[in-house]
Amino acid sequence: MFGIRLVQMDTIYRDPAGNRQRIRELVDEACAAANGREPADLIVFPETCTAGYSEEVFKEIERFAEENGGGTLRLFKELAASRKVCICTGSFPEKEGENIYNTVWFVDRTGRVVSKYRKMHLYSAMDEDQAFTHGTQMPVFETEFGPMAMMTCYDIRFPELSRTYAVRGAEAILVVSNFPNPKVKHWRTLLTARAIENQLYVIACNRVGAAGGSTYFGHSLIIDPWGEIVAEGDEAEGIVSGCADFEKVRQVRETIPMYADRRPASYPGWSV
């Protein structure tokens, strides 16, 4: 059993310095938000938490991109080590050579980067694919809680990614997002489906507020491998608290032996 804090942040539009200060404050708020629950073991932030998500941001993405994570990643590493908490950083623009990626990192309690994920599915309807390079790697990584993987926003519409993670051993998928109104039904339905069909936890953090012509509904979620909602936020900035127990993953997979019953040889074009 471990305690989770989802930070429903109202990202300050196009203001990385201001957002870094808010991140510091919100980590401390998340660590203090026990309220009789399990202590904060894992804190999760939303997508594009340093500048926001819009076509306007994408047009000047070079301004917001940080070489190999830059000062924002250093901040998250310092906060994780000093507060003795694991952090899923939320995503922000990472520059590597000529490419810029929409990247999220997982940092452990010592401040060590355990893994990172570069968003694979970029939303072409808003020219996200013109600003960023598509990620290609699908890492499943070990944590003190168990094996996890990460995805970002639009990725939840692509079951191929979550199934690949599951077959590779993930017992939880961490989702960082800027999912806007009016798509709350899509958000809840897709995340629940990903949890049920893969028999794992889905731990999803969505931003709130308004920016760049969009409004964001929050409703960050922790969903267990039965598809039951453990915790859900509202539309206000704040901390959503809950917990997960990976023993439940094993129980569900023993009760419904879906992985043993798969027939991958019969799925044309499916590689896992």
The verdict on whether 47 is a catalytic residue reads yes
Paired strand residues for 216: 180, 209
Among 153, 171, 205, 248, which one carries the catalytic annotation? 153
* Rounded Cα gap, residues 190 and 160, in angstroms: 13
Check if the beta carbon of residue 106 is closer than 8 Å to that of residue 86: yes
Residue 189: alpha-carbon gap to chain centroid: 17
Under the phi-then-psi rule, with left for phi > 0, alpha for psi from -120 to 50, and beta for the rest, what region is 62?
A: alpha
Among 119, 171, 205, 248, which one carries the catalytic annotation? 119
* Phi, psi values for residue 6, rounded to 5°: -100, 125
- 184-198 and 159-167 helices cross at what angle (nearest 10)? 30
Q: Are strands 229-232 and 42-44 parallel, antiparallel or unpaired?
A: unpaired
The verdict on whether 153 is a catalytic residue reads yes
**Does the CA dihedral 46-150-147-160 come out positive or negative?**
positive
Cα–Cα distances in angstroms (integers) from residue 175 to residues 149, 214, 258, in the given order: 9, 20, 23
* Phi, psi values for residue 271, rounded to 5°: -100, -5
The catalytic residue positions are 47, 119, 153
